[in-house]
Amino acid sequence: MADSSSVTKAVIPAAGLGTRFLPATKATPKEMLPIVDKPAIQYVVEEAVAAGLDDVLLITGRSKRSIEDHFDRAYELEEALAAKDNTDGLAQVRESAELATVHYVRQGEPRGLGHAVLCAARHVGNEPFAVLLGDDLIDPRDPLLTRMIEVRERFGGSVVALMEVPAEQVSLYGCAAIEPTDEDDVVTITDLVEKPVPGSAPSRWIIIGRYVCDPKIFDVLRQTPPGRGGEIQLTDALKVLAGDPSSGGVYGVLFRGRRYDTGNKLDYLRTLVVFASERPDLAQEFVPWLRAFLESRP
Ligand code: UTP
């Protein structure tokens, strides 16, 4: 049954080690890597704000300073830009500091995404909340999170975002067993399987980095033992909720929009090309250059 309490808080885990991006991530969180000229995590905070969530909790780890500085005022830089009458630069520098009320909690050790989410328990309290992975971007033209919040309001429980991938890729992800509901883009999740053995996947729908969680997830996470890779997995806790109707269950929103992964090198490069190609100030020169570059390749 639907719970009337509304979603107002966003939790953005950004405390992972980012090992797939070393050495860039030795002293910089991968969520701070720029997509053209804006750190990936700023797009994610903008998405939360666009969905009406302006209370944002960032879960940070080592080298958290650059994230905190990015969402704070930068008085010396602002003075220097003002002295040079650089109004565009000044607006850009201020924008990230004025986006939302940003809070921070430190995850002492990167013990997994589930553990990172558990670090939010005190701040979130007994309310449903959104989780947005800081290295996963959703195109603002495809407002997934808004839809997920609507689904939570109608169905209750927890809500995950699902995308369909080719059968041969399912074993790389967390995969959902699903049943239809009376809404075309909403399914009931009956089971979740992390990285299924090829051929054994229950569907081709994989979990992507957006969640709306019922606060019951915290109790489950407290009891969730480390799983794959010795990490406490959020998927394992959601699987428990999916099997327990008294928890409100877990629903999936079938997302067919544009998503950009920035957490590994190849997808990061793809994301850069897409964003640069769509930027009015860059596309006119970048796209013909890219075309000529590719034509010049053997
Ligand atoms: P990933 O598994 O993609 O991030 O976690 P990672 O561990 O940093 O990456 P690799 O595999 O070493 O390259 C998904 C999200 O969860 C966060 C990450 O920062 C990322 O945004 N995370 C992961 C945490 O906040 N804490 C953790 O303990 C693990």
125: left (phi over 0), alpha (psi -120 to 50) or beta: left
Atom number in ligand 1 closest to CA 17: 8
Mean pLDDT of 190-208: 93
What's the pLDDT tens digit per position in 13-37?
A: 999 999 999 999 999 999 999 999 9
**Position 115 in a domain:** yes
Q: How many angstroms separate the Cα of 100 from the Cα of each of 24, 54, 68, 103, 218?
A: 27, 5, 13, 9, 24
What's the pLDDT tens digit per position in 43-96?
A: 999 999 999 998 999 999 987 889 999 999 999 999 999 999 999 999 999 999
Residue 168 has pLDDT above 80, yes or no: yes
Under DSSP, the state recorded for 105 is E
Whether 228 and 285 share a structural domain: no
**Position 4 in a domain:** no
Distance 99 CA to ligand 1 centre (A): 24
CA atoms in the 13 A half-sphere facing the CB of 78: 12
Whether 268 and 174 share a structural domain: no
The residues lining ligand 1, judged by C-beta closer than 6 Å to any ligand atom, are 13-20, 31, 59, 107, 110-113, 115-116, 133-135, 263
Whether 15 and 42 share a structural domain: yes
Integer Cα distance of 294 and 298 in angstroms:
8
Q: How far is CA 111 from the centre of its chain?
A: 18
Of 135, 137, 195, 259, best ligand 1 pocket probe by most atoms within 8 Å of the beta carbon: 135
Task: State the residue range of the domain holding 283.
Answer: 264-298
Whether 252 and 275 share a structural domain: no
Total domains in the chain come to: 2
pTM score: 0.95
Residue 9 has pLDDT above 80, yes or no: yes
Distance 85 CA to ligand 1 centre (A): 40
Residue 147 has pLDDT above 80, yes or no: yes
Q: How many angstroms separate the Cα of 47 from the Cα of each of 113, 175, 194, 228, 296?
A: 20, 24, 26, 30, 38
